[in-house]
Amino acid sequence: MAFSIALAGKGGTGKTTLAGLLIKYMIARGKTPILAVDADSNFNLNEVLGVKVDDTLGKAREDMKKGVVPSGMTKDVFMSMRLEQSVIESGDYDLIVMGQPEGTGCYCAANTLLTNYLERLTDNYPYIVMDNEAGMEHISRLTTKNIDVLLIVSDPSRRGLQAAMRIHDLATHLNIGVKKSYLIVNQAKNGVPDDVLETVKENGLEFAGTVPEDDTVHQYDAAGRPTVSMPETSPAVEAAFGIFDKIIG
């Protein structure tokens, strides 16, 4: 069974950047091959990784619902073909993008076929990294029902930390089998106050560490360069790798 790591957090916390750094870390530690899943409807993990997206599973699902299936081809063969076309191969990892959420109408048949083929796909990888929206619904829709590690990413603000704890509470109530949850505070300038950390601990969420605000991240982003290509000596990469060493090393 694949070792699965999912990331969640409210918008603007940098969780997608950390998802990319996690993939960078796993490649550096020989934990490959990896299936990277971008389950955020506003997907941009591909930009962090520096790969191009030509097709998404959401588009395949829409096409099947609209009847865009070639004559003489069954729907299950069509979805199998589109799933294979949606996989972006890139050396030590493959990326698949879920894409935009469904429109109106019933998607039951398309979702069932999609789930079946995703199950087959995930069985081919020893490691899975999933980048998700702030809510946990996308995790529950994926075929990987048992999440080994859930990384909840927050900024240092009290509001951000409260959102992180709400995500943790929601995850514990959804039937997705999270084995262990950790909090990572990203873009930190002065650490996290002790009283806030105590509240987080009382909430049952383990604090994994902080990743400092790093100008290198902003410079790469502004230049359109994939942040996974940042040097391991940059403060953000160094701190993230240290956290990942403790959690999955």
Quote the pLDDT of residue 29: 96
Burial, 159: exposed, middle or buried (Cβ in 10 Å; 0-12, 13-18, 19+)?
exposed
Cis link prior to 33 (omega < 30° from 0)? yes
Domains of the chain and CATH, by start: 3-248 (3.40.50.300)
Q: Which helix (H) or strand (E) holds 55?
A: none
247 — pLDDT class (breaks 50, 70, 90): very high
Q: pLDDT digits over 101-122, tens only?
A: 666 655 455 556 666 777 777 8
Lowest mean per-residue pLDDT among 123-132, 140-149, 229-238: 140-149
Q: What pTM was computed for the model?
A: 0.89
Q: Write down the mean pLDDT value for the chain.
A: 85
What are the strands, taking DSSP E only, across the chain? 3-8, 34-38, 88-90, 93-97, 127-131, 149-154, 180-188, 206-212
Quote the pLDDT of residue 108: 59
Q: pLDDT digits over 157-199, tens only?
A: 888 888 888 888 888 877 678 899 999 999 988 777 787 788 8
Q: Residue 143, by phi and psi: left (phi above 0), alpha (psi -120 to 50) or beta? A: alpha
Q: Residue 162, by phi and psi: left (phi above 0), alpha (psi -120 to 50) or beta? A: alpha
Contact 38, 94 (CB under 8 A): no
